[in-house]
Structure formats: C-alpha cells, structure tokens
C-alpha cells in the first residue's frame, strides 16, 4: 500500500499582496507618511501579479494588485493634479 502525498498549495504571494495593499492604502492616505509606503505599493503590485500568474487565490491576488495600483495612482495623481492646477 503506497501513501500518496498531498501537495498543499500555498497562497503566500496572494496573502502578502493583500496585506501590503491594505496597509499601503491605509497608511498612504496619511499626509507625509504616505510616501514611506511606496515600497509596499510596489511589492503589492509585484506579489499580486506573481500570485495571479502562479494560480494562487485569484480574489486575494487581484485585490492586492488593485489596492497597490490604486494607492500608487492616487498618490502620484494627487501631486500631478496639484502641479497642473498651480500652473
């Protein structure tokens, strides 16, 4: 009788993307503290894309990816509109 090993699929990239996306968007809204979250936004985007590509939990991967992109666009878009409005 041979025992079959079950391979547990890890959702590490998806969970990391989701956590970094949530923390990045929450702290990214705080003035002056938000720019320190830039690495978290970038990592949320990267981990989300890798999680989607590896077939991990699609919901968590896409949510982390969207939160990372949203925080990135929000912060840079705010300054872009501020500069355009000032000129």
State how far the Cα of 25 lies from the Cα of 41, in Å rounded to an integer. Answer: 8
Domain annotation covers residue 7: no
pLDDT tens per residue, range 34-59: 788 889 999 999 999 999 998 888 88
Q: Do the domain assignments include residue 2?
A: no
Dihedral-angle region of residue 55 (phi above 0 means left; psi in -120 to 50 means alpha; beta otherwise): left
Residue 7: the pLDDT is 46
Task: Tell the residue number behind the tokens 């970038």, with chain if given.
Answer: 42
Residue 40 belongs to a domain: yes
pLDDT digits (tens, 9 = 90+) for 1-33: 566 655 457 788 899 999 999 998 888 888 778
Rounded Cα distance, 25 and 85, in Å: 24
Distance from C-alpha of 24 to C-alpha of 41, rounded to nearest angstrom:
6
Q: How many structural domains comprise the chain?
A: 1
Write out the residue range of the structural domain in which residue 47 sits. Answer: 13-27+35-86
DSSP, res 55: T
Residue 2: per-residue pLDDT? 60
Q: Which residue has the higher pLDDT, 70 or 2?
A: 70
Q: Return d(Cα 44, Cα 37) in angstroms, integer.
A: 11
pLDDT at residue 67 in the model: 93
């Amino acid at each position: 009788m041979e025992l079959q090993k079950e391979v547990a699929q890890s959702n590490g990239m998806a969970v990391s993307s989701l956590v970094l996306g949530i923390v990045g968007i929450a702290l990214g809204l705080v003035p002056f503290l938000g720019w320190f979250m830039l690495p978290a936004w970038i990592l949320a985007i990267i981990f989300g894309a890798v999680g989607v590509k590896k077939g991990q939990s699609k919901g968590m991967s896409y949510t982390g990816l969207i939160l990372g992109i949203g925080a990135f666009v929000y912060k840079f878009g705010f300054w872009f509109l501020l500069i355009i409005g000032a000129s």
